[in-house]
Chains A and B, each alone.
Chain A
Amino acid sequence: MEAAVTQNQDPAKTLLEVNNIEVIYNHVILVLKGVSLKVAEGGITALLGGNGAGKTTTLKAVSNLLHSERGEVTKGSISYRGDAVAGLDPADMVKRGVIQVMEGRHCFEHLTVEENLMTGAYTRGDGRGAVAADLEKVYTYFPRLKERRTSQAGYTSGGEQQMCAIGRALMSRPETILLDEPSMGLAPQLVEEIFGIVRDLNEKEGVSFLLAEQNTNVALRFAHYGYILESGRVVMDGPAAELRENPDVKEFYLGVSEEGRKSFRDVRSYRRRKRWLS
């Protein structure tokens, strides 16, 4: 985890570059239609968009978890630190420092919280001592996990499971975490807590994040840069602060406009209108 801290200074350096990728599921379902994005070293990059926009698919294309879902990158390229990473195993990606925290947490239900965390260290070969030290470190970021260390993960709360999933990823000593919908199904207060920890990890441990979120509001408060995805295409991108002030984003993703809050229904009808226009 400390390894990346030293290089935190140069924000312009690109860690991950996704270049115009197309993804097809089951050989027929075209889901991503040319997505490009960059993740800067030491930054939090948000990938925003509604349900079904292709956020999860993009993350899985990077972590190479697509194969096991019968998905395939058919065009474009993905590089990490300049190396093409297309044909690698998920395990190779983890060893290179890129790990995904999946949507819906996916803790190992019948393993204890601590066992869950330990599985994160599976690919490491730097000895028990180092792993034990990192376990303690994870516990300092998530004191609640320490309290529940011997509980079966399946019996912990949604927030604890989200912490467990992030903690598990941290145990691999990642450089970049692909974090998928951490806010899903959590109370606003917990969402704040989790995003606060994400910011801490980013600032103190130098972990870079590619963060997929439907909760645009929260994501843009914590992220440095954002991409907005709509039906498999990037429709807008920019520094988070600018996106937050952009009238379109305000209206269609933050749910506020000059006239006040828009209802979900209005947003939907607008989308339909926009499709006719484009």
Chain B
Amino acid sequence: MPEQFLFATEVVLNGLMAGVLYALVALGFVLIYKASGIFNYAQGVMALFAALTLVGIMDGQVPFSHLINAIFGTEIHHFGWHVPALLAILLTIGVMVVLAWAVQRFIFRHLVNQEPILLFMATIGLAYFLEGVGDLMWGSDIKKLDVGLPQGINDWIDVTTFEAFGYGFFIDNLDISATIVAIILVGALIAFSQYTKQGRALRAVADDHQAALSVGISLNFIWILVWSIAGFVALVAGIMWGAKSGVQFSLSLIALKALPVLMLGGFTSIPGAIVGGLIIGVGEKLFEFLIGPMVGGATENWFAYVLALIFLVFRPQGLFGEKIIERV
């Protein structure tokens, strides 16, 4: 039994690390939803697009090369240079900011005051459009993404746990760095929203659009800011996921992993997204480990949704969903 317990502990640790990624994607949803009431279906595709762009820039790929070659009969695919990871990340952030601006300028500026369902539809359109643009810009082949994060089993943990318990835990270095990066990112986001003028304005807009307008806050600017931050969060998630499983279409499906996290944590709560992500990450790994063998495995596909449904029934506002304050 102690051996079984050790296995389970290892599973929990791995689940926590997977949960961090879910939390990151869910965070992107929460940010946009809180500030603008838009449920951004395209969040997953944004992660894919960000990762594609990052790989493309790093490898010196010529954007839209298929299109260019088809029109001009040329055969160019690469600039022939390689861009260092850090610089490429900065450039990708720039691209995500431009994307945020374009989304606001060409879509949501024209949909101010529209029904939430209409805004949601617009993000579905955006998701497929962005997927197409990503393909067209960078090609649809599976790409390897390596920004220099350490990969493979962490020997120190392996050795230490082996000496202590007689069983070496398998923890991936990539998961450890993902966790650290995610913690830093979340800390930075919270500090930004709590202690800066723009962060305060962002929360003000989330509370009351009209009042925010009345004190001279530009909704347009705040929404571009929010979409930029969501783009940045998507990039970080894209890097982590891409480094693990390559950059390909399936990356956009991490959005589906974030959905139960949102149901669990509430659509408006940053702590909810984090804790929800961790619960789902741990829950699905542990469930697969303990119950999976009895039911023939593959529980990871549905466990999160069932858990989320149960939560939805008993606590519709989510774990930390903000209470609606009644006016006195």
Which residues of A are at the interface with B, using a C-beta cutoff of 8 A? 63, 65, 68-70, 89-91, 93-95, 99-102, 106-111, 115, 118-120, 122-123, 152, 154-158, 161, 168-169, 172
**Does B164 count as interface, using CB distance less than 8 angstroms?**
no
B218 close to A89 (CB less than 8 A): yes
**Does B211 count as interface, using CB distance less than 8 angstroms?**
yes
Q: A155-B325, A158-B328 are in contact. Are A109 and B207 (CB under 8 A)?
A: yes
Residues from chain B with a CB closer than 8 A to the CB of A91 are 213, 216-218
A111 to B212, CA, bound (A): 12
Which residues of B are at the interface with A, using a C-beta cutoff of 8 A? 112-113, 197, 200-201, 203-204, 206-219, 322, 325, 327-328
Which A-B residue pairs are the 5 nearest by beta carbons? A154-B325, A94-B216, A106-B211, A91-B216, A123-B216
> Which residue of the partner chain A has the closest CB to B197?
A122
A265 to B210, CA, bound (A): 35
Please tell me which one of the listed residues B201, B207, B211 contacts residue A110 in the complex, with CB atoms under 8 A apart: B207
Counted as pairs of residues, one from A and one from B, with CB atoms less than 8 Å apart, the total is 90
B322 close to A94 (CB less than 8 A): no
A–B Cβ pairs within 8 angstroms, 29 of them: A68-B209, A68-B219, A69-B113, A90-B216, A93-B216, A94-B216, A102-B211, A106-B214, A107-B208, A108-B211, A108-B212, A109-B208, A110-B203, A111-B203, A111-B207, A119-B212, A119-B217, A120-B215, A122-B201, A122-B216, A123-B215, A154-B325, A155-B325, A156-B328, A158-B327, A158-B328, A161-B328, A168-B215, A172-B216
A120 to B212, CA, bound (A): 9
> Which residue of the partner chain B has the closest CB to A107?
B211
B200 close to A119 (CB less than 8 A): yes
Majority secondary structure, A binding face: mixed
A122 close to B217 (CB less than 8 A): yes
B200, B215, B322, most chain A CB atoms within 10 A: B215
Majority secondary structure, B binding face: helix
Residues from chain B with a CB closer than 8 A to the CB of A70 are 113
B206, B208, B212, B322, most chain A CB atoms within 10 A: B208
B200 close to A115 (CB less than 8 A): yes
A107 to B207, CA, bound (A): 9
Shortest distance from the beta carbon of A250 to any chain B beta carbon, whole Å: 34
Q: A68-B113, A155-B325, A157-B328 are in contact. Are A102 and B210 (CB under 8 A)?
A: yes
Q: A99-B216, A119-B215, A169-B215 are in contact. Are A152 and B112 (CB under 8 A)?
A: no
A65, A94, A102, A108, most chain B CB atoms within 10 A: A108
Shortest distance from the beta carbon of A162 to any chain B beta carbon, whole Å: 11
A91 to B222, CA, bound (A): 13
Given contacts A90-B213, A91-B216, A95-B216, 8 further A-B contacts (CB under 8 A): A65-B210, A65-B213, A69-B210, A102-B211, A118-B197, A122-B201, A123-B216, A161-B328
